[in-house]
């Protein structure tokens, strides 16, 4: 199965809430941009996808609509996902889908059967007969260098944009999993709400994300500037009192408090996942530890935070943002019995 048909390529897709990543055999990861699409309301034609569409968030007029077709790991608009994939595949393969031999789309562990069927149908509608799906947490483990086919328990925590997924894997299958909608997008919303309440400033989602990236930390050892002072971020938005453009300073201490509150839910879910894991597999985690992937793996202090909770070693994936799409490269080479979708 690992052999590709002559002249054709295998393709792996990480259909993430925040980003869409596409791997093409022989070419590597050829697309890594926001899972956002802008369409013309009148004609329904695609205006832009990815970074170009993301740049229009909060700045469009009544003729253009910007859509995020995945929210919290849930498919909210399957038609727009189809349009995003069609647009990007046309760009990558110059409108010739015959170049694609096999298409693997990675999905959240707790996606519904209806959503699985819809995703499978997408590939077939694109003219790709050999379309199938598998779980993101499995791909993330493989992409992080874990051999999930050994008879030994492995725990992966994937802190993505829409969801944080917890998966215990053994013998190539997900034995126990959880998924919660407390992840990157939720962190951004909490930052937005805080700035609105505390600083009386209305900010957009892009500004909230920039604050998170610049200041996020779970440790008491907060990031500092060259003068040794706690790092701050100048947030610009609309003053709620005057209605005029305004700028306020947000510091790392404020953001740490917000994130620690968010991580309480992640902490509780991690503990419940461990409590419901078969004893033999749970015991394996003492030696194997826990691997963290996804954008949230880049938050300062996340390793120490999870180690304090569990008492076992925690590793940050070498390439946390691309672990899932890197894992598709390996999944594309294994036997089809491991997949939901049949060839």
Per residue in 176-196, pLDDT tens?
999 999 999 999 999 999 999
Q: Which letter does DSSP use for residue 200 in this model?
A: -
In a domain, 14, yes or no: yes
Residue 85 and residue 16 share a domain? yes
Residue 160 and residue 100 share a domain: no
End-to-end alpha carbon distance in the chain: 11
Burial of 144: CB neighbours in 10 Å, binned 0-12, 13-18, 19+: buried
Asked if residue 118 and residue 85 are part of one domain, the reply reads: yes
Structure confidence at residue 296 (pLDDT) = 95
Residues 122 and 162 occupy one common structural domain:
no
- pLDDT exceeds cutoff 90 at 55: no
- Is the confidence at residue 125, as pLDDT, over 70? yes
* 3-state helix, strand and coil shares in percent for the chain, rounded to the nearest 5: 40, 30, 35
343 occurs within a structural domain:
no
Query: 263: domain CATH number?
Result: 3.30.420.40
Question: Is this structure's pTM higher than 0.85?
Answer: yes
Per-residue confidence at 60, pLDDT binned at 50, 70, 90?
A: low
Asked if residue 120 and residue 96 are part of one domain, the reply reads yes
**For position 276, what pLDDT does the model report?**
96
Mean pLDDT, rounded, for 62-74: 84
Q: Judge whether 176 lies within some domain.
A: yes
- Number of structural domains, the chain? 2
The neighbour count for residue 171, using CB atoms within 10 Å, is: 11
2 in a domain, yes or no? no
Looking at the structure, tell me whether residues 186 and 313 fall in a common domain.
yes
Would you put residue 204 in left (φ > 0), alpha (ψ -120 to 50) or beta? beta
> Is position 45 within any domain?
yes
Return phi, psi of residue 206, to 5°: -70, -40
Which of 36-45, 62-71, 103-112 is the least confident region?
103-112
pLDDT at 142: 95
Domain residue limits at 24: 9-140+323-338
């Amino acid at each position: 199965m690992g052999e590709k048909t002559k002249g054709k390529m295998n393709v792996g897709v990480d259909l993430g809430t925040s980003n869409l990543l596409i791997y093409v055999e022989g070419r590597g990861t050829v697309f890594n941009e926001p899972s956002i699409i802008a369409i013309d309301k009148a004609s329904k034609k695609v205006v832009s996808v990815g970074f170009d569409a993301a740049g229009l968030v909060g700045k469009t007029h009544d003729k253009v609509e910007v859509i995020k077709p995945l929210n919290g790991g849930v498919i909210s608009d399957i038609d727009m996902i189809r349009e995003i994939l069609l647009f990007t595949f046309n760009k990558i393969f110059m409108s010739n889908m015959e170049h694609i031999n096999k298409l693997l789309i990675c999905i959240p562990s707790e996606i519904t059967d209806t959503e699985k069927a819809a995703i499978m149908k997408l590939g077939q509608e694109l003219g790709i007969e050999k379309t199938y799906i598998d779980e993101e947490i499995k791909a993330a483990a493989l992409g992080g260098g874990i051999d999930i086919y050994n008879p030994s328990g492995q725990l992966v925590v994937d802190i993505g944009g829409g969801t944080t997924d917890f998966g215990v894997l053994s013998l190539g299958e997900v034995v126990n999993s959880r998924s919660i909608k407390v992840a990157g997008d939720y962190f951004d919303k909490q930052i937005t709400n805080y700035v609105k309440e505390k600083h009386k400033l209305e900010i957009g989602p892009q500004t909230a994300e920039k604050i998170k990236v610049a200041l996020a930390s779970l440790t008491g050892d907060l990031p500092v500037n060259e003068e040794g002072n706690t790092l701050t971020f100048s947030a610009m938005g609309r003053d709620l009192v005057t209605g005029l453009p305004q700028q306020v300073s947000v510091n790392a201490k404020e953001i740490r408090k917000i994130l620690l509150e968010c991580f309480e839910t992640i902490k509780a879910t991690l503990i419940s996942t461990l409590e419901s894991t078969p004893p033999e597999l749970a015991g394996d985690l003492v030696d194997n530890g826990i691997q963290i992937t996804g954008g949230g793996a880049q938050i300062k202090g996340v390793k120490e935070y999870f180690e304090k909770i569990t008492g076992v070693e925690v590793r940050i994936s070498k390439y946390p943002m691309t672990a899932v799409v890197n894992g598709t490269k390996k999944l594309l080479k294994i036997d089809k019995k491991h997949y939901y979708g049949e060839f």
